[in-house]
Amino acid sequence: MSALANERVAWFNGEFMPEREVRIPFRDRSWVYGDGCFDMTRTFGHKLFKVTEHVERLYRSLKYLRIEPGFGPQKMIALTEELFERNRHLLGPDDDYWVGQRISRGVKDVPGDNLDYHGPNVVLECAPLPLAQRAKLFKDGIKVIVPSQRRVPPDSLSPRAKTHNYLNLIVADQEVQSIDPEAWAVLLDINGNIAEGLGSNIFIVRGGEILTPREKFVLPGVSRQTVIELAQQDGLIVREADLDLYDAYNADEAFLTSTSLCICPITKINGVAIGPPKQVWGPVTQRLAKAYQGFVGHDFVGQYLKRYVEGAPARAF
C-alpha cells in the first residue's frame, strides 16, 4: 500500500494495512479470555507524547503475562512512530490521536482449524481523541461516583499490568453510568481505600499536600507520573497514601489524570462538592494544568474547550 493512504492504517503482524483489513481469528485468546495487554499514548499538536515510557510499560505488562511479542521495545517504538506518520495527514489542524499497541497471546490451537499461525497477534493503531465528547468536563469538572464493585486486589491480579481484561472496571463503570451517564467511576480497593477508574488515576489536594493512591493498588499512569514530577519540580509536596472516602470528601481539591484528559478537575464525589462552592479549577489543579501544558507545549485545555457546546452531554467512554 502507499505510504500515505486516504484512510487510517494499522500495523498488523508485520504489515501496514487499512484498519478495515485487520482480521484476528475468533479463537484469539484475547477474544476468548481477555488474555493480552495494551498501552496507549496520545499526541499533542500532532506530536507523540512519551512513546518510550508507554512502550516500556507495555513490555512490563508483557513480561508479567509471559507473552513474547517477537521483537523488543526499540522496534515497537519505531513502528509506533512510523504508524503515526502514516496517519498524521488525516488529522484536522486542532485534532489529535490516541496511538497504541495491542498484543494477544495468540490463537487457541484447535485440531482442524487450518490456521498456519498461532503466535501472538500484534496490532498498532491510531484513533481520534474524543475531544468534543469530553469538552464539558473541562468546563464543569468531573462528577465521580464510587460503585459497589471493588478493584481486583493485587494478590489476585496486579493492576499494574495494563491487560485486555477490563471487566472489573467496565462493570463498575456501567453501574455508575446507570446512576448518572455523565459521571466517572472511581473504585475502592478491598481495604476500602480509593483506587482508580477505567483509564484514570485520582489525586486529592489537602492541607497543602497532593495525595494519590499507592502504586501497588493501581495502574501507575504515565500521566500520573508526569503530574507527580511536575508538582515536585514546582516545589509542591506529593506523596502516595491510603485514602478513604472521608479523605476525599474533605479534600480542598481533587482531579483525575489520564492519557486523554491529562489533568481534569473533579467537582463532586458521590454528590459531595469538593472545594469551595462553584469552584471548578482549584488553584493547585490549575497550577499543575498550566505546568503540564507548558511541558507538552500544547494548550490541551483550550483544545477541549473549543469544542464545548452549551447543553451537550459529556461522555465518559
- Report all structural domains of the chain as residue ranges with CATH numbers, in order of start: 9-129 (3.30.470.10), 133-305 (3.20.10.10)
CB-neighbour burial class of residue 207 (10 A; exposed 0-12, middle 13-18, buried 19+):
exposed
Whether 97 contacts 24, CB under 8 Å: no
* Average pLDDT rounded to a whole number, residues 202-230: 97
Q: Tell me the pTM.
A: 0.95
- Nearest of 201, 214, 197, 146 to residue 176 by alpha carbon: 146
CB-CB contact of 196 with 158 (8 Å): no
* pLDDT mean over 186-205: 97
Query: Averaged over 275-282, what is the pLDDT?
Result: 93
The number of helix segments (H) and strand segments (E) in the chain equals 9, 15
The pLDDT score that the predictor gives to residue 54 is 98
Read off the pLDDT of residues 86-108 as tens digits, 9 standing for 90 and up: 999 999 999 999 999 999 999 98
Contact 97, 127 (CB under 8 A): yes
The predicted pLDDT at position 312 comes to 76
Which band of pLDDT confidence, cut at 50, 70 and 90, is reported for residue 311?
A: confident
Residue 2 has pLDDT above 80, yes or no: no
Alpha carbons 176 and 163: distance in angstroms, whole number: 22
69, pLDDT greater than 70:
yes
Q: Please say whether the beta carbons of 17 and 10 come within 8 A.
A: yes
Burial class (CB in 10 A: 0-12, 13-18, 19+), 209: middle
For cell 464543569, what's the residue? Answer: 140
* Residue pLDDT, tens place only, 42-52: 999 999 999 99
- CA 213 from centre of chain: 16
pLDDT above 90 as % of the chain? 93
C-alpha dist (Å) from residue 98 to 219, 230, 257: 18, 22, 15
